[in-house]
Amino acid sequence: MSILDDKRILLVVTGGIAAFKALELVRLIKANGIHVRVVLTESGSKFVTPLSIQALTEDKVYTELFSLTDESEMGHIQLSRDADLILVAPATANILAKMRAGISDDLASTVLLATDKPVFVAPSMNVRMWEHAATQDNIGVLIKRGVEVLGPDVGAMACGEFGAGRMCEPAEIVQHVLSFLSLNKSLEGKTALVTSGPTLEPIDPVRFISNRSSGKQGYAMASALSKHGAKTTLVTGPTNLRDPSGVKVIKIETAADMLQACLDSLPADIAICAAAVADWRVVNNSEQKIKKRDSGSVSALELNENPDILKTLSQLHSNRPDLVVGFAAETENLINNAVKKRKNKGCDWILANDVSETTGTFGGENNLVHLITDKGSEEWPLMLKEDVAIRLVEKIVKEIER
């Protein structure tokens, strides 16, 4: 028997042009052995009929909040209680706004307000509606509350425009949902702290020292820990990434602020330092913009070493996380340097990654790492950063269970 066999999804179909894809979603969910029940909004029913959905689900399609028969057979509270996960696809700007505001004026929005189950949304709307500050604001709030946002994709739209707003393909949505349902929440009750992204060390009000870290690896770590049930805090330098859902995100700029935010976030059972912290900061950075000199010469910047966050966390006397994991970013002698770094910093594990320009590790989608522990090193294949994160979290789960 598969872990997915007794799982149940409640699919909420709202009124967007992508509603017709709900039929394919139902088909794919069922093909994976998962039971699916559908709530269809009134506007959703203008794009896809209850009859066609019912033919695929072989179950009643729920449409009305105040239906005597529906309420007696399966009340709105029971609809959400009965599901392991609620998927809203397509999710219009309207339903996202209602979810954010807690409006419950039809069956779909009432179920979404009444649920304590994980909620996934696959937005679908015109690019301008998606980019509107109101929608972005709503999405930001929903993510903070733990709603998982899938997409939207960028592409040509039914309205003739081009941009972000197309609903993700059903196969992609189903893959996300399946991997979530397959995860065991083995880190429930644990707390985790992750550092990510670059730090910015000011030279003057407009200039700074930084590096090319995109934050992708750190965000993927925080997301994987949270999906496995850990209460996760992400302390991150500036990135262009969307906050991972359900994760507390603390945004900082300098290494000093990152250290303080980390210390303030303790105690934690697990700490993972994936940030590319600038090793130096400018002494007495200028309050005024530094002027160019007529001579053409440039005055040298005086630099001081920044605090080492990984080392500080690893060497705490009280409140030291049970497992501290660092990254070693190297361009030569990868393993030797990483082994030395693990010892010098005092962390339990270190993931060595080659960051030479040709590897594209900084900023790219993939990472090739070696996990170095006190037992030796193991090489992992080149993987998406998300998969590196999942594999590391699986290792952490095993370590914690020992």
Q: Which of residues 57-96 bind ligand PMT (CB under 6 A)?
A: none
Contacting residues for 351 by C-beta, under 8 A, at least 6 apart: 325, 326, 327, 328, 369, 370, 371, 372, 388, 392
Stretch that binds ligand PMT, among 134-142, 165-173, 272-280, 292-300 (CB under 6 A): 272-280
Query: Which residue type, as a one-letter code, is found at position 333?
Result: N
Tell me, by CB under 6 A, how many residues bind ligand PMT: 29
CA distance 181 to 4: 7
Cβ atoms of 147 and 162 closer than 8 Å: no
Note the helical H segments in 325-384.
334-345
Check residue 279 for interaction with ligand PMT (CB under 6 A): yes
CA distance 271 to 279: 20
Pattern of binders to ligand PMT over 140-179, x per CB under 6 A? ----------------------------------------
Stretch that binds ligand PMT, among 67-75, 241-249, 315-323, 355-363 (CB under 6 A): 355-363
CA distance 270 to 232: 9
Q: In whole angstroms, how close is the CB of 264 to ligand PMT at the nearest point?
A: 16
Check residue 314 for interaction with ligand PMT (CB under 6 A): no
Q: In whole angstroms, how close is the CB of 3 to ligand PMT at the nearest point?
A: 30
Q: Which of residues 383-402 bind ligand PMT (CB under 6 A)?
A: 385
Pairing of strands 270-273, 323-330: parallel
Nearer to ligand PMT, 106 or 308 (CB): 308
Give the DSSP per-residue string, 59-111.
Answer: SPEE--TT-HHHHHHS-HHHHHHT-SEEEEEEE-HHHHHHHHHT---SHHHHH
Nearer to ligand PMT, 143 or 328 (CB): 328
Instruction: Indicate the DSSP class of residue 312.
Output: H
List 147, 328, 371, 372, residue binding ligand PMT (CB under 6 A): 328
Helices (H) and strands (E) in the chain, counts: 14, 22
Cβ atoms of 334 and 372 closer than 8 Å: no
CA distance 212 to 198: 7
Check residue 326 for interaction with ligand PMT (CB under 6 A): yes
Check residue 271 for interaction with ligand PMT (CB under 6 A): no
**Residue 394 dihedral angles phi and psi, to the nearest 5°:** -65, -40
Task: Tokens for 87, please give them.
Answer: 């998927």
In angstroms, the Cα distances linking 154 to 24, 30, 114, 157 are: 20, 27, 32, 9
Q: In whole angstroms, how close is the CB of 29 to ligand PMT at the nearest point?
A: 32
Annotated catalytic residue 159: yes
List 126, 217, 226, 314, residue binding ligand PMT (CB under 6 A): 217
Q: In whole angstroms, how close is the CB of 273 to ligand PMT at the nearest point?
A: 4
Q: Which of 159, 168, 273, 347 is catalytic?
A: 159
Cβ atoms of 72 and 64 closer than 8 Å: no
Check residue 275 for interaction with ligand PMT (CB under 6 A): yes
Stretch that binds ligand PMT, among 144-152, 171-179, 290-298, 321-329 (CB under 6 A): 321-329
List 115, 214, 226, 254, residue binding ligand PMT (CB under 6 A): 214
Pattern of binders to ligand PMT over 222-261, x per CB under 6 A? ---------------------------------x------
Check residue 360 for interaction with ligand PMT (CB under 6 A): no
Check residue 216 for interaction with ligand PMT (CB under 6 A): yes
Which parts of this chain interact with ligand PMT (CB under 6 A)? 195, 213-217, 255, 273-277, 279, 306, 308-310, 326-329, 341, 353, 355, 361-363, 367, 385
Residues serving a catalytic function are 159
